[in-house]
Amino acid sequence: MSNQQVLNPDALFCNTEKQDMFITGSEAVKEAIKRSNVDMAISYPITPQSESMHLVGDLYAQGYLKDYLRGENELAVMSEVAGASMGGVRVFTATGGPGTLRAFEMFSTWSGARLPIVCAFMTRGLNSPLTIQPDNIEMAHILDTGMIILHAENAQDLYDMLLKAFIVAEKPDVHIPVGVFADGFFVTHTRDRVRIDPESVKLPPYDPYSAPVPVIDMENVPVRLMRDPFVMKSNFISYAAHASWQQEIMAAAMRSRKYLDKYLEGLMDIHNEKAKVMVVASGTAVSQSREAVERAKNEGMDVGLIKIKCLRPFPVEKIKAALENVKTVIIPEFNRVGWLYREIKSVLQKDMEVIGAPRVFGGMTMPAELILDEIRRCQNG
């Protein structure tokens, strides 16, 4: 709303008097967007995301956003936000599961066009057979689209990451999209205590003229300008142009690390870093892992926990260092393919026992006992 006070991001993130609210993840999305000075949001229903965008619609009705519409499908919605973003406004949308895959061509298009779009992904299982149950297999597909990928453990993370995502995405030396992922239902549909900034403050507006690529509004030179021109000729100059462009997107993601490090207080958290057995998880699996690690400690076992908050850019060196003296790594996941297992495996140089278990999918929950079983097994072995 126009009477909200604009605070610079550092002041808003660190110095405001926060209050506790007992809210769902969907409501945490609303609270974040309310303070994000978003110009336009575009919605499309899909379980378990729908409620969050209903609530963003309410914000529009209350005057917090300047435009809001329901698009016609996810590919169209992602295209609509792309057009708006190229036109120089701050946009937000959300999707999940099959919606993520329906929209897929746009995610790498956003990155390539360096659009600072923030999209929330409320994950769910993929067809076939159709399911609306929790699962985060879609993250396996999206990791290499060039986007910055954050994974929220709970409603608090979702709130914090969304607010901060706009600021990181719009940094001139970054200026690529940010996907904030939360495990659908577990985060979106459950209540949790969330520390929230006052209603009276919001982020500064987006300045499209600070972008490293020209905004398309016919107000800026050069006039003979296409976003983005083709480099499709069959010659070396074309290949080199496309290759260097892709490298620049990767470099932009790497440059985001200094901001993510500051605002997320590190791309990962380590608990009990000296332990020889380490559980590594992201998203809600971190919560069950925390419980399992606590119970293992009570049983006299020495186990540590690494919470990965940011999958892209992936904290390769930090993970290597953290696991250097570890004997066994346990990676619990809410999907069939074990994408986090693959990610961790890919950065470990020495031969070490890496257990890609437990893996639950198809909608099942993950009792802490399953993780505890893995911990006990490697203690005994």
Partner 1 sequence: MVKRIFKMCPEFEDVMPEEYKQLVEDGPYGREKGVTDLGSFKELIEEHPLCAGCGLALSLRLIIASIPVPEDTIIVGSTGCSSLLFPQVAIQNIHSIFGNQNAVATGLKRAMKLRFPDKTKDVVVIAGDGATADIGLGMVMQSWFRREHITTIMLDNEAYANTGGQESGMSYEKKVLNMAPTGKKFPKICLPEVAREAGCDYVATVSPGKPKRVQNAVRQAVLTAREVGPSYIQIYSPCPTNYKFKSNQTNAVAKEREKEGTYRMVEYVSDKARDYFKQFKGEEKHAKCN
**Listed residue (2, 60, 4) closest to 30, CA to CA:** 60
Q: Which residue, among 57, 9, 10, has the nearest Cα to 34 in the 3D structure?
A: 57
What pairing do the DSSP bridges indicate for beta strands 303-308 and 67-70? unpaired
- Work out whether 69 is an interface residue with partner 1 (CB under 8 A): yes
> Could you give phi then psi for residue 83, rounded to 5 degrees?
-60, -45
- Based on CB atoms, which residue is closest to partner 1, 91 or 140? 91
Candidates 12-20, 166-174, 228-236, 308-316; binding stretch for partner 1 (CB under 8 A): 228-236
Judge contact between 275 and 367, C-beta under 8 A: no
Contact segment (CB under 8 A) with partner 1 among 26-34, 136-144, 218-226, 369-377 equals: 218-226
Instruction: Report the C-alpha gap between 333 and 100 in whole angstroms.
Output: 19
150 contacts 165 by C-beta, under 8 angstroms: yes
Q: Which of 89, 158, 252, 323 binds partner 1 (CB under 8 A)?
A: 89
219 binds partner 1 (CB under 8 A): yes
| Stretch near partner 1 under the rule CB under 8 A, chosen from 25-33, 225-233, 272-280, 300-308 | 225-233
Cβ of residue 36: shortest distance to partner 1, in angstroms? 15
Q: Does 367 bind partner 1 (CB under 8 A)?
A: no
Query: Token pair 């209540």 is at which residue?
Result: 191
**Is the Cβ of residue 44 or residue 361 nearer to partner 1 in the bound state?**
44
CB of 222 to partner 1, least distance (A): 8
**DSSP summary character for residue 133:** S
Q: Would you count residue 207 as binding partner 1 (CB under 8 A)?
A: no
- Strand order from edge to edge, sheet including 91-95: 67-70, 40-43, 91-95, 118-123, 178-183, 148-152, 310-312
Q: Is 327 in the site for partner 1 (CB under 8 A)?
A: no
The alpha carbon of 333 is separated from its chain's Cα centroid by a whole number of angstroms, namely 16
Cα–Cα distances (Å) from 330 to 67, 72, 147, 339, in that order, read 46, 42, 27, 13
**Nearest partner of 16 among 203, 191, 150, judged by Cα:** 203
- 221 touches partner 1 by CB under 8 A: yes
- Please identify which residue in 75, 101, 268, 354 interacts with partner 1, judged by CB under 8 A: 75
Q: Can you tell me which of 54, 193, 227, 327 binds partner 1, judged by CB under 8 A?
A: 227
CA separation, residue 54 to residues 27, 77, 178 (Å) = 10, 15, 21
Minimum CB–partner distance for residue 319 and partner 1 (Å): 34
**Nearest-approach distance from CB 102 to partner 1, in angstroms:** 12
> 196: which strand partners?
19
The verdict on 230 binding partner 1 (CB under 8 A) reads: yes
Taking CB under 8 A as the binding criterion, the range among 8-16, 20-28, 76-84, 135-143 that sits at the site for partner 1 is: 76-84
> Shortest Cβ distance from residue 85 to partner 1 (Å)?
7
Give the integer Cα–Cα distance in Å for 222 and 299.
68
> Applying CB under 8 A, which part among 9-17, 28-36, 69-77, 132-140 lies near partner 1?
69-77
In contact, 307 and 268? CB cutoff 8 Å: yes
- The answer to whether residues 4 and 201 touch, using CB atoms and an 8 Å cutoff, is yes
User: Quick check: 283 binds partner 1 (CB under 8 A)?
Assistant: no
Scan residues 92-121 and list those touching partner 1 (CB under 8 A). 105-106, 109, 113
Of the candidate spans 14-22, 77-85, 119-127, 364-372, the one that interacts with partner 1 by CB under 8 A turns out to be: 77-85
d(CA 153, CA 356): 19
Q: Does residue number 223 form part of the binding site for partner 1 (CB under 8 A)?
A: yes
For partner 1, the closer of residues 66 and 195 by Cβ is 66
Site of interaction with partner 1 (CB under 8 A): 39-40, 42, 66-67, 69, 71-73, 75-77, 79-89, 91, 105-106, 109, 113, 208, 214, 216-221, 223-230
